[in-house]
């Protein structure tokens, strides 16, 4: 019969408050990343519209009319392209904002000192 040794327990307790704090911070990080990604799409339409609201709306109207006239296969292709571009832009924004991913915990720094 094999002998089973109990796992040693560390004296540290789990800090649930910090886990919730990190969860809220991460949700905020993801929300701002999503808003920045949508902003890049709006900036793209502004650029192709000549930095005017009228030009941007003209291009959006052109895109809308072509989307509504497309068949199901074309719509699926369009959704895949938009989803891929959205994912790529989101990953790029997250890469450049990676310093903001982990929250600063000034209270823990003071306890260590």
Q: For residue 104, which of 29, 32, 34, 16 has the smallest C-alpha distance?
A: 29
**Is residue 49 classed exposed, middle or buried when 0-12, 13-18 and 19+ CB atoms within 10 A define those classes?**
middle
pLDDT tens digit string along 76-113? 999 999 999 999 999 999 999 999 888 876 665 666 65
pLDDT tens digit string along 33-73? 999 999 999 999 999 999 999 999 999 999 999 999 999 99
Q: HSE (CB half, 13 Å, CA atoms) of 49?
A: 19
Question: For residues 44 and 42, what is the distance between their CA atoms, to the nearest angstrom?
Answer: 5
In this prediction, residue 107 carries a pLDDT of: 61
What is the reported pTM?
0.74
Q: For residue 30, which of 93, 104, 105 has the smallest C-alpha distance?
A: 93
């Amino acid at each position: 019969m094999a002998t089973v040794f109990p796992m040693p327990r560390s004296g540290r307790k789990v800090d649930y408050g910090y886990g919730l704090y990190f969860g809220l911070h991460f949700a905020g990080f993801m929300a701002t990343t999503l808003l920045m990604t949508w902003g890049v799409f709006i900036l793209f339409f502004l650029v192709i519209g000549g930095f005017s609201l009228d030009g941007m709306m003209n291009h959006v109207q052109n895109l809308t009319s072509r989307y509504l006239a497309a068949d199901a296969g074309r719509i699926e292709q369009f959704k895949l392209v938009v989803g891929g571009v959205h994912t790529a832009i989101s990953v790029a924004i997250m890469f450049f904002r990676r310093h903001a991913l982990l929250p600063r915990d000034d209270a823990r720094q003071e306890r260590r000192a």
